[in-house]
Amino acid sequence: MISKDIVLQTIVIPKEQCEYKELYYRLKGLGTINDGCLILQKKAILSTLTYMNSFDSWAWNKYTGIDRWKLALSVLGRFVLRLYHWEDGKKIVIEKEIIAKSRESVSIDFKQLQNSNLIFFEIEALETTYVYKAEYRAEITNREVEPVHLSLLICTYKRKKELKKSLAVFNNSKFLDKNSPYYGGASLRIIDNASELPIIQKEFIKLYHNPNTGGSGGFTRGIIESRKDESTYGISHVVFMDDDAVVEEESFYRLYALLSLLKPCYQNEVVAGRMFDLNKGYMQYTASEVWNKGDIRHVGFKRDMRKIKELSWMNRSLGQYSGWWFACYPMSFVREETPLPFFLHCDDVEYGLRHGGTPIVLNGIQVWHETYENRRTPFISYYDTRNTMIVNTIYYQYQSEDEILIKWYLNLIYAWRGKEYYKMYPSLIALKDYLKGREHFMMEASKKEGLSLPPSIGMTIAIFMGVVQFPIFRYKLRKAFLSYKEINKNI
């Protein structure tokens, strides 16, 4: 039986100093970075007890069943290597002095420890030491490895600058390196809803023009193209990604390793990519999501992941679904299911609730993205209001149709009291469109226009129409409510 090493996790050292380096490493003493190589001066101590670079043996064991690993280093210098596990404080597992007079490979085997999850290492330089590379690996047999090919989907609309960054990450990735074990393990499909970018038809990168059918329509096109290419590429999973999300290459490699080793009982689950705040790069905004009738609960909300206290449980708190800033679905689900035409907002919610599983989270699989607080507009308010009502109806979150009107009026009052007047007119239009029912919703795939009014005018119209048209709203509500429930029976 042939066995080989599989890289589970590569230690990520930024190519240069960054303002939130404690996400990656901790350093006492003097050290510099030269193109990803960390150079430690004598007496400096490097620690990997961090969000990005600690190894969660509990999570890897839970999802893959593997309980024996090794730490592999490429180093030069004289230093003491200490391997620790974290259990209400650091506890040493192995300590070893190493002398590498030229660049050498060093490895240490270790196994799952009882009541332990975080594994990390420290290097104390006894003289100038160069850390070129470090990896956590597992030795496994070929028959234990599932073939993986990721179809990466990006839906874009007039964001050339942001898309250029995403393209650069993929173009520089190991998925296009013929000498890498990752070669051919992923392909990128870009759906251009503005139809303004040059069409691309390369082997592993494709760009399609598409009408502006919003995120849900764009991702649906990506799903259709992935289905067409499934047998050609051996597509096993589809990753939904925002065009303005910033991602580390390592996130893809960890995802690839995790998927290739999953236990059978987890092979149909979604893997959620965390969202970190783009403006506060150290801040986890969410690990995954809980719908809660539209009052969304962000798992691990606003956690400073530089802090050691946040690490022990970072992979144990689970949600209901993953946002499409980065969400990986098995092809077995995507092959049969397409998003509903929400245009934008709640398409990821409904798709995740329909899947019905519990998303897997793993440190190092994440993106940096602008948070919701910075994306408040009348346009967004319309879709938030309308689509929340539709999702809650489909999934029986409302006890009766009366609850819809009660919550709508309460939200109108909250917007008025909070002086968020820009929300009020879009909320009125959202309710009126909800009342048009399922058939109108399923056929409506275009962008909603004319939602921006001067706040005082929009507020006046919303309040006046809300009062005057109450009997009409109440009359239409029952029929619309029942029509949306029919969607649940058909999906």
Q: How does pLDDT run across 205-263, given as a tens digit for each residue? A: 999 999 999 999 999 999 999 999 999 999 999 999 999 999 999 999 999 999 999 99
Exposure string (b/e) for 423-459, b if CB count within 10 Å is 16 or more?
bbbbbbbbbebbbebbeebeeebeebeebebebeebb
Is the confidence at residue 56, as pLDDT, over 90? yes
Long-range contacts of 60-64 (CB under 8 A, 24+ apart): 60/8, 60/138, 60/258, 61/112, 63/258, 63/261, 63/262, 63/263, 63/266, 63/360, 63/362, 64/138, 64/258, 64/261, 64/262, 64/263
Rounded Cα distance between 118 and 55, Å, is: 6
Element (H, E) at 261: helix 249-261
Rounded Cα distance between 349 and 392, Å, is: 10
CA distances from 405 to 22, 185, 385 (A): 48, 49, 12
Is the confidence at residue 81, as pLDDT, over 60? yes
At 437, give phi and psi (nearest 5°). 90, 180
Residue with tokens 């909250």: 414
Is the confidence at residue 351, as pLDDT, over 90? yes
The one-character DSSP state at 321 is B
Q: What is the model's pLDDT at position 100?
A: 96
CA distances from 196 to 187, 208, 209, 210, 212 (A): 21, 10, 8, 10, 11
Instruction: Please choose, from the candidates 160, 161, 185, the residue with its C-alpha nearest in 3D space to the C-alpha of residue 173.
Output: 185
Query: What predicted TM-score, i.e. pTM, was given to this entire model?
Result: 0.94
Interval 173-182 mean pLDDT: 96
* Dihedral (CA of 427, 433, 438, 444) sign: negative
Which regions of 351-484 does DSSP assign to beta strands (E)?
366-369
Element (H, E) at 391: helix 378-394
Interval 458-481 mean pLDDT: 86
What is the average pLDDT value for the chain, to the nearest integer? Answer: 93
CB 51 within 8 A of CB 287: no
Which regions of 11-141 does DSSP assign to beta strands (E)?
26-28, 31-34, 37-40, 45-47, 55-56, 68-86, 90-111, 118-125, 129-141
Residue-range domains of the chain with CATH: 3-143 (2.60.120.260), 150-371 (3.90.550.60), 378-490 (no CATH)
Spatial CB neighbours of 141, under 8 Å, sequence gap ≥ 6? 1, 2, 3
Maximum Cα–Cα distance across the chain: 85
Rounded Cα distance between 253 and 131, Å, is: 20
Give 368-404 pLDDT, tens digit per residue: 999 877 667 888 899 999 999 999 999 999 888 889 9
Instruction: Please choose, from the candidates 225, 235, 241, 219, the residue with its C-alpha nearest in 3D space to the C-alpha of residue 165.
Output: 241
Is the confidence at residue 483, as pLDDT, over 90? yes
Rounded Cα distance between 274 and 289, Å, is: 10
Q: What is the model's pLDDT at position 220?
A: 97
Rounded Cα distance between 98 and 126, Å, is: 10
Instruction: Please choose, from the candidates 446, 437, 417, 442, the residue with its C-alpha nearest in 3D space to the C-alpha of residue 478.
Output: 437
CB 368 within 8 A of CB 245: yes
Q: What is the model's pLDDT at position 451?
A: 80
CA distances from 377 to 254, 354, 381 (A): 36, 28, 6
CA distances from 275 to 31, 55, 216, 436 (A): 29, 20, 20, 35
The one-character DSSP state at 360 is B
3-state secondary structure of 305: coil
* Dihedral (CA of 346, 344, 151, 326) sign: negative
CA distances from 210 to 150, 153, 204, 222 (A): 22, 13, 19, 10
Residues in the chain: 491
| Chain centre distance of CA 157 | 20
Interval 306-311 mean pLDDT: 96
Q: What is the model's pLDDT at position 17?
A: 67
Q: What is the model's pLDDT at position 244?
A: 92
**In the chain, what percentage of residues exceed pLDDT 70?**
98
Is the confidence at residue 116, as pLDDT, over 80? no
